Structure 1
Amino acid sequence: MSFLDSLNSTAFEAFGQTVIWSDMTGNLLGLAALALGWRRSVLTWPAQLLAGIILVAAYHSASLSGGVGKQLVVIAVALWGWRQWRTGRDRAGDGAVAVRFATTRERLLLAGGTALGTLAVGGLFTAVPELSWNPWPDAYIFTGTLAAMVAQARGLVEFWFAWILVDLVGVPLAFSSGLAFSGLVYLVYLVLVLWGLRAWWLRSRDASTAPAPRPVPDMEGTAA
């Protein structure tokens, strides 16, 4: 048996659903990554990277091309986000990444990019049925995940809202595709997302109300 076959073998059965090792392991790592993101730890990115690699096998076993594509995006953006947070975490003053609300322009770009991306990817999946048997939900999840991770990499509170919108489609799609563990984990994701949203919201508010640093006087007593 190959390593890939082992990853996609049965771990256990519950409620009439078969749970495979890749689905379980990848999603547990995803939960860890989300918890680390809530704490604004840079370790969220290597955890997401490893989860994405393992979940490629899970989605491939379920013939969900959109899910495979989503995880390939997760892998690529995790590498970029890891670099972004390593260079930006000192701005928070506590060794963690600084977080803030997006500007109006950033929100419009995220929303517009997600809408156009969903139309483009959904059109591709519809034109090439071999890529996805459920093109529009797959396209929505694919593009929404990309938008969420880009927002996370930039330290934007809105990334939590993006995950909520992705999960609203991801949960029923996972259950209907036989990835029961993914569906259950997505429900736990929702709790962590709401918790993380509150934490980042309060953090961004504290940062916005913090007093600006006082100017340092020069040798003649004037502000530098």
Structure 2
Amino acid sequence: MSAVSWLDGEAFTALGQHVIWSDMLGNTIGLIGLALGWRRSVATWPVQCLSGLVLIAANLYAHLAGGVGKQFVVIVVALWGWWQWRAGNRRGQDGSIAVRFASWRERGLLVAAAALGTAAVGGLFTALPQLSWNPWPDAYIFVGTLVAMIAQARGLVEFWFAWLLVDLVGVPLDFASGLAFSGFVYVLYGALVLWGMRDWWLRSRDTARPVPEGAAA
């Protein structure tokens, strides 16, 4: 049995939902990656790369081209984010990853990119139905994930808001696509996202607070 065949095999059945290995393993690794992101650990990026590799198999199984494309995007952006955080240009005075709220200009760019990207990818999936059986939600998740990861790589608190918006569509789509474990895990993602959002929000206030004169001496 090949590795791909094993990943597409059934791990267990719960509440009438069949859970395949690639879905379970990929999302468990992704959950670890999100927790590391909350802790502002550079290790979040290689873990997200590994999660993306495993979830490619899950989305191929479910015939979700947008999901496959999303995982390729996850891997590429995770490599870029890894370089950003390791380069040190996102670090505060204490050496940890600095986080902040986006400027209004940055927020506008993120929203515009999400809207235009979803329209473009959704139009492509609609024109080529063999790529996705549910084109618009699939496109929304594809583009939303890209926007969220770019915001994370730049240390923006809005990263967490973007993930919440992706989850609102991702959970029902995963259940409808036969990726039950993804649906269950995304519910856990929601709780972790709220926790991480609070932590980054508080840390952004510390980052913005001016350093008293003489404190750096």
Give the TM-score category using the shorter length. Answer: over 0.9
Mapped contact 1:89–1:96 kept (Cα < 8 A): no
Find the counterpart in structure 1 of residue 23 from structure 2: 23
Can you give the 5+ residue segments of structure 1 that lack an aligned partner in the other structure?
Answer: 218-224
Distance 2:186 2:50 in 1: 18
Distance 1:216 1:137 in 2: 50
Mapped contact 2:36–2:44 kept (Cα < 8 A): yes
Which residue identity does 2:17 align to in structure 1? Answer: Q
Which residue identity does 2:29 align to in structure 1? Answer: L
Q: Secondary structure at the match of 1:114?
A: helix
Distance 2:201 2:109 in 1: 21
Q: TM-score, normalised by structure 1?
A: 0.93
The structural deviation recorded for 1:215 is 9.7
Q: TM-score, normalised by structure 2?
A: 0.96
Find the counterpart in structure 1 of residue 164 from structure 2: 164
Aligned-pair identity in percent equals 67
Find the counterpart in structure 1 of residue 145 from structure 2: 145
The structural deviation recorded for 1:96 is 2.4
- Structure number with bigger Rg: 1
Residues 216 and 184 of structure 1, relative CA distance in 2, 3 Å threshold: closer
Find the counterpart in structure 2 of residue 122 from structure 1: 122
The structural deviation recorded for 1:88 is 2.6
Which residue identity does 1:55 align to in structure 2? Answer: L
Query: Structure 1: which 4+ aligned runs deviate by more than 6 Å?
Result: none
Distance 1:191 1:46 in 2: 23
Q: Secondary structure at the match of 2:178?
A: coil
Find the counterpart in structure 2 of residue 133 from structure 1: 133
Which residue identity does 2:33 align to in structure 1? Answer: A
CA RMSD of aligned residues (A): 1.6
Mapped contact 2:99–2:156 kept (Cα < 8 A): yes
Find the counterpart in structure 1 of residue 88 from structure 2: 88
Distance 2:49 2:212 in 1: 37
Q: Secondary structure at the match of 2:87?
A: helix
Distance 2:168 2:183 in 1: 11
Find the counterpart in structure 2 of residue 221 from structure 1: none
Residues 50-101 of structure 1: CA distance to partner in whole angstroms, max 9, x if unpaired?
0000000001001111111110100110000000011137722344211111
Question: What is the correspondence of 1:37-76 to structure 2 with a 5 Å cutoff?
Answer: 37-76=37-76
Mapped contact 1:88–1:98 kept (Cα < 8 A): no
Residues 190 and 87 of structure 1, relative CA distance in 2, 3 Å threshold: same
The structural deviation recorded for 1:206 is 1.1
